[in-house]
Structure 1
Amino acid sequence: MKNFLIFIFSFNIILTSAQLDNVNSEERLKYRIHYGFLNAGLATLSTKKTIYNNTPHLHVRGEGRSTGAVRAFFKVDDVYESYINIQTGLPSFYIRNVKEGSYYRNFASTFKANSGIVSLHDRIKNTTQTFKIPMDIQDMLSCFYHLRNLTTHQLKLGSSIKINVWIDDEVYPFMLRVTGKEIVSTRFGKIHALRIIPSVMSGRVFKAKEGVTLWVTDDANHIPIQLKAELAVGSLKADLIEYTNVKHPFNFSK
């Protein structure tokens, strides 16, 4: 169960340089997470337009917490924040503050634009390190909103896209493959969706290199509505259960 909120954020991943004009300020998405047959937790994503370093940014906040019986033996309180440059779609500042059982991390990453360098501050140890990174680096939240701005052509059936993602103090290479189109049943009704398989590192969080499946709406929103992952121990599933202020209307049917 360790790092279970990474399940929500770490594979919503595709690279693009498009402006973030497909996401409303004050948008909010809420997911329920199941661990096996248990209701394991809730995760929310919210947005707000703001000014960071005198430049327009999208401030994204992700929160996750375990609930019910799972919280009784494994307490999770995670907060992720990203300040994404609206013009470039690249992150400027990223926070990962997680409490998962006895596991604690509180990192603040400052990306220095056009330099290929990130400054990582460990807020618990009060230490700072610098790392070289690819110029096209994304963090775990900014990836989600890049996905939202891709065109139908970029997400066509059979397409594959590679991206480098900054997680803690490492760069992780990901690859996304659009493998099919399906009609997915949700609590709001049925909706057309793209099935996406991210290739992830096995042996750390996920059971296999391609142990994750993601379904995103096959419309202008490109919002994940259902997620499944086979973990090293057990499996996780997430479903969209609430949404507000999305830019484009959903086309749910009965």
Structure 2
Amino acid sequence: MKKIFLLLLFVMTGLSSAQINNIKSGEKLVYRVHYGPLNAGYATLTATNTTYKGQPTLFVKGEGRTSRTVGFFFKVKDLYESFINIKTGLPSYYIRNVKEGNYTQHLETVFNHDNNTLILSDKKNNTPPKMIKTVSGVQDMLSAFYYLRSLNNKNLNIGSVIKINVWIDDNLFPFQLRVVGKDVKSTKFGKIECLRIIPRVMSGRVFKDKEGVTMWVTNDANHIPIEVKAELAVGSLKADIDDYQNIMFPINFK
């Protein structure tokens, strides 16, 4: 399930910090995940307004689970959480707590954007926290998703190349994406005009090649991912919007 969060989250990135003002508290997005012909499971994203250390904050949660059929053979229960400063769009605190078959991981990250450092804690192995030097404007996997959605359409012109640094697990990765066109996509809710985006991703470990992923996001103020397709190192993966609630702006499905 980590792969689908990589697809939905880090490819939706931007250039620098920006205020998040287009996400309604209580928003919920649900995606149906297919691995080849199989209904592999679901990925759910929720957002709630709160405060963190006295600052207005968007608390976002990403949860992944396998379907009953796939879970019989390989059970996944993934939890991602991020506290994002609404004024800057930058993460303050990030959690990744996952169970994938026999594999488990529980990492917590506290960001200090004033001096470009973070403190990483491995809760599973109970090792001493580590201070790590990062770069300006670093995002985590969840905050990157909501940051891009805060951008204006003028930042997403066809031909635009967008770059960002994303903290994933215990490493910093540079990514970029290209806005390559517009398409009308069919969904269970109707048809909708979308921007077609191709991210440049890590080939070899997860994906088949560096540009083997395509994503379609609504061409409106919401910038909600509608569909994602990816060729993986083994097999293929697809995610489609399955449900949405409490969206800030109307989605004009036809």
TM-score, length-normalised on structure 2? 0.97
Change (3 A) 1:15 1:155: same
CA distance in 1, matches of 2:133, 2:215: 30
After TM superposition, the structure 1 = structure 2 runs for residues 4-43 of structure 1, keeping only pairs within 5 Å, are: 4-43=4-43
Could you tell me which residue of structure 1 aligns to residue 223 of structure 2? 222
Comparing 16-25 and 189-198, the one that deviates more: 16-25
Q: Percent identity?
A: 57
Q: Report the equivalent of 1:180.
A: 181
**SS of 1:145's equivalent?**
helix
When residues 125 and 43 of structure 1 are mapped into structure 2, their CA distance, relative to the original with a 3 A threshold, is same
How far does the alpha carbon of each residue in 1:150-195 deviate from its partner, in whole angstroms, 9 at most, with x for none? 1111000000011000001111110010011000000100000000
Q: Measure, in 2, the Cα distance between the counterparts of 1:163 and 1:113.
A: 15
Aligned letter for 1:251?
N
Deviations 1:139-159 (A, max 9, x none): 000011111111111000000
Per mean C-alpha deviation after superposition, the further-off stretch among 101-110 and 10-19 is 10-19
Deviation at 1:2, TM superposition (A): 6.5
Alpha-carbon offset, residue 138 of structure 1? 0.3
Partner of 1:54: 54
1:32-181 correspondence runs (5 A): 32-127=32-127, 128-181=129-182
Distance in 2 (alpha carbons) for counterparts of 1:5 and 1:152: 24
Query: Structure 1 residue 51: deviation in Å?
Result: 0.9
Q: Match of 2:53, as an amino acid?
A: N
Structure with the higher helix share, 1 or 2: 2
Q: Deviations over 1:36-84 (max 9, x none)?
A: 0100010100011111011111000000001132111111000000000
Question: 1:143 and 1:3 mapped to 2: Cα distance?
Answer: 15
1:206 CA drift (Å): 1.0
Unaligned runs of 5+ in 2: none
Match of 1:247 in 2: 248
Task: Give me the whole-angstrom Cα distance separating, in 1, the residues matched to 2:192 and 2:5.
Answer: 25
Gaps of 5+ in 1: none
Does the Cα contact within 8 Å between 2:4 and 2:33 map onto a contact in 1? no
Q: Describe the SS at the equivalent of 2:41.
A: strand
Residue by residue over 1:65-124, the C-alpha shift from the partner in whole angstroms, topping out at 9 and shown as x without a partner, is: 011321111110000000000111000000001111121110000001311111000001
2 CA distance for matches of 1:25 and 1:247?
Answer: 9
Q: Secondary structure at the match of 1:165?
A: strand
**Would you say the 8 A contact 2:57–2:84 is kept in 1?**
yes
Q: Which amino acid aligns with 1:121?
A: S
Question: Which whole-Å CA distance do the structure 1 matches of 2:196 and 2:251 have between them?
Answer: 17
In the TM superposition, residue 3 of structure 1 has moved relative to its aligned partner by: 4.5
- Partners of 2:214 and 2:236 lie apart in 1 by 12
Match for 1:7: what amino acid?
Answer: L
Q: CA deviation at 1:5?
A: 3.7
* Number of residues of Structure 1 aligned to a counterpart in Structure 2: 253
* Amino acid paired to 2:89: G
Code of the residue aligned with 1:54 in structure 2: it is G
- Equivalents in 2 of 1:126, 1:144: separation in Å? 29
State the one-letter code of the partner of 1:155: L
Structure 2 Cα separation of the partners of residues 217 and 83 of structure 1: 25
Structure 1 position 137, deviation (Å): 0.2
